[in-house]
Amino acid sequence: MTTDTFLKEKAVTFFLDGQEVHLAGIAKGSGMIKPNMATMLGFILTDAEIDPRSLQKALKNAVDLSFNRVTVDGDTSTNDMVLLLANGKRGKGVINEKHPDFFIFQEALNRVCRDLAKDIARDGEGATKFINVFVQKAKNESEARTVAFTVAESPLVKTAFFGEDPNWGRIMAAVGRSGILIQPERINITINGVPFVEEGMGTQKMTRNELRSVVQSKELEILIDLGLGDASFNVWTCDFSYDYVKINSHYS
């Protein structure tokens, strides 16, 4: 059974060592989505000619920046796969990670994987909103990651967004329970660029109706600034709706 509602595909064209090459990917998955990696399948094809070890390394980098940053319900897959196949048809010679153009290949691969991963979150079971939780100025990446996943998986945060309730208190509460040491008065939160929390308190600049209109958007960028260091991490997710319950309570 699949609960995907749309096709997830992405293709890019770029130049490698003076040669036009292509990279295309398709993916499926919409529930039980959480690193490592997700109940998902990804197939990525390229006609570039890349050394197998360098190809594997590039894929691992790209997956860490994409499929490993998606969560729908916090439940992790029991099986998942991303395959990257390079047939070398367009190569003038094998390229490895030492080649000056290798970063161009990596960037193209990152783009394809990122777009597929975002589509998986966008198509999360029952999703009505696509949410990017971006945590910055954390002490280190591990702490940024912990906060981002805790917020992205909080049922209270996710149901608030489904209800289009500008409930910044639930975001603060999730940050607070994430397990890292925070200084509440240093925290600033914006959603789609609009301030919600300033120095740990609800903003005085906006009315509740103004905040409500912000969270009515179908795409939400939650920026959580911890004010502690230089590290950041982001997670893509979706809201938590009646349909999520419906899909998963009537599975069989």
Q: Which residues are catalytic?
A: 39
Q: Which of 45, 107, 134, 176 binds a copy of itself (CB under 8 A)?
A: 176
Question: Residue type for 106, please?
Answer: Q
- Strands of the 201-202 sheet, one edge to the other: 201-202, 194-198, 188-191, 219-225, 130-138, 231-238
Binding status of residue 217 toward a copy of itself by CB under 8 A: no
Binding status of residue 78 toward a copy of itself by CB under 8 A: yes
Q: What are phi and psi of 87, to 5 degrees?
A: -95, -10
Pick between residue 51 and residue 75 the one whose CB is nearest to a copy of itself. Answer: 75
**Triad 210, 214, 218: Cα angle to 5°:** 155
Binding status of residue 170 toward a copy of itself by CB under 8 A: yes
Binding status of residue 81 toward a copy of itself by CB under 8 A: no
Radius of gyration for the chain, computed over Cα atoms and rounded to the nearest angstrom: 20
- Strands of the 8-16 sheet, one edge to the other: 8-16, 19-28, 41-46, 81-86
Q: Which of 52, 89, 103, 163 binds a copy of itself (CB under 8 A)?
A: 163
Binding status of residue 241 toward a copy of itself by CB under 8 A: yes
Q: Which of 167, 232, 234, 237 binds a copy of itself (CB under 8 A)?
A: 167
DSSP code string of 161-215: HHTT---HHHHHHHHHHSSS---GGG-EEEETTEEEEETTEE-SSS-HHHHHHHH
Binding status of residue 171 toward a copy of itself by CB under 8 A: no
Alpha carbon distance 3, 11 (integer Å): 23
Pick between residue 162 and residue 196 the one whose CB is nearest to a copy of itself. Answer: 162
User: What is the nearest approach in angstroms of a copy of itself to the Cβ of residue 151?
Assistant: 11
Q: DSSP 3-state assignment of 133? A: strand
Which of these segments, 13-21, 28-36, 53-61, 96-104, binds a copy of itself (CB under 8 A)? Answer: 28-36
Which of these segments, 109-117, 129-137, 151-159, 219-227, binds a copy of itself (CB under 8 A)? Answer: 151-159
User: Which residues are 224's β-sheet partners?
Assistant: 135, 189
Q: What is the DSSP letter of 234?
A: E
Q: Which of 155, 183, 201, 210 binds a copy of itself (CB under 8 A)?
A: 155
Pick between residue 19 and residue 128 the one whose CB is nearest to a copy of itself. Answer: 128
Binding region for a copy of itself (CB under 8 A): 31-32, 34, 73-76, 78, 153-156, 159-160, 162-163, 165, 167, 169-170, 173-174, 176-177, 240-242, 244-246, 248-252
